Amino acid sequence: METPVRELVQHSRLELFGIILALSTGLVHLALGLSAVPDLLGIASVLAAVGFAVGVLCYVFDYRRQLILLLGVPFVASQIVLWYVLNQPASLADISPLAAVDKPIQVTLIVVLVLLYGRERERR
């Protein structure tokens, strides 16, 4: 029986990069959410953080991996769209430093999820 650490180490570099990206944006959502609870946006951010964590755990432990990758794309994309709709930045100056870091992470994560999904489809 393999340990969780050994399972994590056996992932490809692209998989590990995706895991790091998902955990990073999840931590951003958690930090933002906890600072805004009990506001509805704070609760939504915490729930998004939980979603990222559950997705990573399912992926790492090979639970319905292809489905996790497929659902991950609209999940991450919805985070970007919701942020834009709720914040409506008119210029770069309107974007917080945290969002300026988080949004490129999320876009990169979408690309990684698509690449990993393609790999999973080829394996099956």
Quote the pTM value: 0.88
pLDDT at 37: 86
Q: Output b/e per residue, 40-59; b: 16+ Cβ within 10 A.
A: eeeebbbebbebbbebbebb
Q: How far is CA 82 from CA 48, 90, 119, in A?
A: 11, 15, 29
CA 39, 45, 48, 53 dihedral sign is negative
Q: What is the mean pLDDT of residues 85-95?
A: 87
pLDDT at 8 over 60: no
* pLDDT digit string, tens, across residues 16-73: 999 999 999 999 999 988 988 888 888 999 999 999 999 999 999 989 999 999 999 9
